[in-house]
Amino acid sequence: SATIAGVRADLLERFAAREAERFAEANPKSAAAMGGMARDWLAGVPMHWMSDWPMPHLAVIERASGAVIRDIDGHEIDDFCLGDTGSMFGHSPAPVARAIRDQARRGLTYMLPSDAAAEAGRLLSERFGRMRWQIATTATDANRFAIRVARAVTGRPKILVFSGCYHGTVDDVMVELVNGRTQTRAGLLGQVADLAQGAVACEFNDLAGVEAALAAGDVAAILTEPVMTNSCMVLPAPGFHDGLRRLASQYGALLMIDETHTISSGLGGYTGVHGLKPDMFVVGKCVAGGMPTAAWGMTEAVAQRYAGANAARPPGHSGMGTTLSANPMQFACLVANLSGVMTPAAYAKMEKGAARLAVGLARAIARAGAPWHVARVGARVEFICAPEPLRNGTEAGMAHHPRVEAAVHVALLNRGSLIAPFHNMMLVSPVTRRAQIDRLVANFTGVLADLFP
Ligand code: PMP
């Protein structure tokens, strides 16, 4: 009979139905609470991504601490999603929670810096390399502002991105390669501009393609994650990052590295661990321990060009900044997280746990004879429903099997392990216990035994 990612389709259907039923039975309070939300929230959810979770209905959360999340039906769930990286260092890390309590007594937003701003800036440079920094509230905004600066200082229109990438809801780079041509992404809602005017898409790991695009002379910057993490994970081929750096310099484009997810790599993110040399740098999500905060920066050389462009523009809106950004809560949390949470010791634990998880998952895949594999960048682990490591976004797109992934996801949740939606991602925080990792491996092994009898 027909198979999907090696799983018999009829068997998958029955398995998914059984797991959906089990979920519904176990979560009556969440079902009722979601029913109560249905009247006032658009499409029944407060943020429309939430409707992409593959469960029959969402679990409603009562509280979370460490790497455990508790829903209103009383389930204590091992959380390997961790807010899709926002809580990568665990929920409410103690130093961050303390900083929030202290700052809460002294005001939440001033549009003036607090005395912690100097220390936050120093720590950003210490962790991520010396840059001229700015604070934004989301990584989306950070990328948007960084793109603006890249265009302003180079006087060029296009941002080179990799097909299948994601850098937040930044319209400017919502393009993809279709039959070798850059096009606006099909799913983008309400966009009327032809985004190929301001962006060019290449395949990841294709330096010849990158060079051909740069040779047109209209590329302001290459914007990339060090590892593609927003489809199925794609690791850089040896020499790829060196090549990007060399080609960017050769063709007068800036190299912008988005570390929002690959901050899982270790201290300083992938850039720090592997010695990348970006001109611009973006990080968000967990950088302030879960408080909505992003930081973006540029080298001193780019900062000088920025000063020139900024001085030359007529007065009026620059298109950068938002009112609540660089608020004192962000500085307090940045200092607490960068100094007391995002430490070498924390990364050592994450690395060890993630290695254990990756080995366990790979063993389960081998035992089941599934045509799948495991990929990892530091604390970030994925099982991928394709036999071989992926080379680019097109391959990553084809490796997605939503029905298989959804069934596995719900089955793992029924057994007490929550993984991330959209991609089969599992994060290991410094407070994730070994027993939680072993439980996830056991649950995954059991699920594969059912899917590959
Ligand atoms: N950059 C990357 C690499 C991301 O994965 C994401 C979000 N998944 C963003 C930027 C945007 O982050 P946010 O949604 O917090 O703005």
Domain enclosing residue 168, as ranges: 95-340
Same domain, 26 and 159: no
Reply yes or no on whether the pLDDT at 403 is more than 90.
yes
Q: How confident is the model at residue 423 (pLDDT cuts 50, 70, 90)?
A: confident
Question: What would you measure as the largest C-alpha separation in the chain, in angstroms?
Answer: 69
Same domain, 133 and 35: no
C-alpha distances in Å from residue 215, one per residue of 22, 210, 364, 412, 415? 56, 9, 46, 48, 53
Mutate to test the pocket of ligand 1, among 48, 84, 135, 140 (most ligand atoms within 8 A of CB): 140
pLDDT in tens, 26-64: 999 999 999 999 999 999 999 999 999 999 999 999 999
* The pLDDT value given to residue 276: 98
In a domain, 392, yes or no: yes
- Report the CATH number that the domain containing residue 169 is assigned in CATH: 3.40.640.10
* The pLDDT value given to residue 151: 98
Q: What percent of the chain has pLDDT over 90?
A: 99
**Residue 33 CB partners (closer than 8 Å, separation 6+):** 60, 72
Residue 314 CA to ligand 1 center (angstroms) comes to: 32
Asked if ipTM goes beyond 0.85, one says yes
In a domain, 183, yes or no: yes
The residue out of 308, 340, 372 marking a domain boundary is: 340
Angle, helices 300-312/139-154, rounded to nearest 10 degrees: 70
d(CA 117, CA 394): 42
Given a contact cutoff of 8 angstroms between Cβ atoms, the answer to whether 173 and 223 are in contact is: yes
pLDDT in tens, 228-238: 999 999 999 99
In a domain, 317, yes or no: yes
Could you tell me the pTM of the whole model? 0.98
For the chain, what is the mean pLDDT? Answer: 97
Same domain, 350 and 318: no
Same domain, 8 and 132: no
Judge if the beta carbon of residue 420 lies within 6 A of ligand 1.
Answer: no
Four-residue CA torsion sign, 175, 177, 178, 180: positive
Reply yes or no on whether the pLDDT at 349 is more than 90.
yes
Same domain, 139 and 277: yes
* The pLDDT value given to residue 253: 99
Q: What percent of the chain has pLDDT over 70?
A: 100
With H, G, I as helix, E, B as strand and everything else as coil, classify residue 154: helix
What secondary structure does DSSP assign to 374-428, as a single string? EEEETTEEEEESSSS-B-SHHHHHHT--HHHHHHHHHHHHHTTEE--SSS-EEE-
Same domain, 334 and 436: no
Q: How confident is the model at residue 381 (pLDDT cuts 50, 70, 90)?
A: very high
d(CA 327, CA 146): 19
* The pLDDT value given to residue 386: 97
Same domain, 19 and 50: yes
* The pLDDT value given to residue 143: 98
Same domain, 309 and 197: yes
Question: 78 pairs with which residues across the strands?
Answer: 68, 417
* Mean pLDDT to the nearest integer, 241-247: 99
- Report the CATH number that the domain containing residue 23 is assigned in CATH: 3.90.1150.10
**If we measure between CA atoms, which residue out of 52, 53, 74 comes closest to residue 63?**
74
pLDDT in tens, 169-180: 999 999 999 999
Judge if the beta carbon of residue 423 lies within 6 A of ligand 1.
Answer: no
Judge if the beta carbon of residue 259 lies within 6 A of ligand 1.
Answer: no
Reply yes or no on whether the pLDDT at 289 is more than 90.
yes
The residue out of 306, 322, 340 marking a domain boundary is: 340
In a domain, 423, yes or no: yes
Judge if the beta carbon of residue 373 lies within 6 A of ligand 1.
Answer: no
Same domain, 373 and 326: no
Reply yes or no on whether the pLDDT at 422 is more than 90.
no
d(CA 346, CA 281): 22
In a domain, 260, yes or no: yes
Secondary structure (H, E, C), 187-253: CCCCCCCCHHHCEEEECCCCHHHHHHHHCCCCEEEEEECCCECCCCCECCCCCHHHHHHHHHHHCCC
In a domain, 443, yes or no: yes
In a domain, 84, yes or no: no
* The pLDDT value given to residue 323: 98
Same domain, 355 and 318: no
pLDDT in tens, 153-198: 999 999 999 999 999 999 999 999 999 999 999 999 999 999 999 9
Same domain, 283 and 151: yes
In this structure, the residue with its CA closest to atom 12 of ligand 1 is 139
* The pLDDT value given to residue 1: 78
The residue out of 290, 310, 340 marking a domain boundary is: 340
What secondary structure does DSSP assign to 252-270, as a single string? T-EEEEE-TTGGGGSTTHH
Same domain, 243 and 307: yes
**Residue 338 CB partners (closer than 8 Å, separation 6+):** 120, 123, 124, 126, 127, 287
In a domain, 88, yes or no: no
Count of domains for the chain? 2
**If we measure between CA atoms, which residue out of 410, 394, 404 comes closest to residue 372?**
404
Given a contact cutoff of 8 angstroms between Cβ atoms, the answer to whether 388 and 33 are in contact is: no
* The pLDDT value given to residue 70: 98
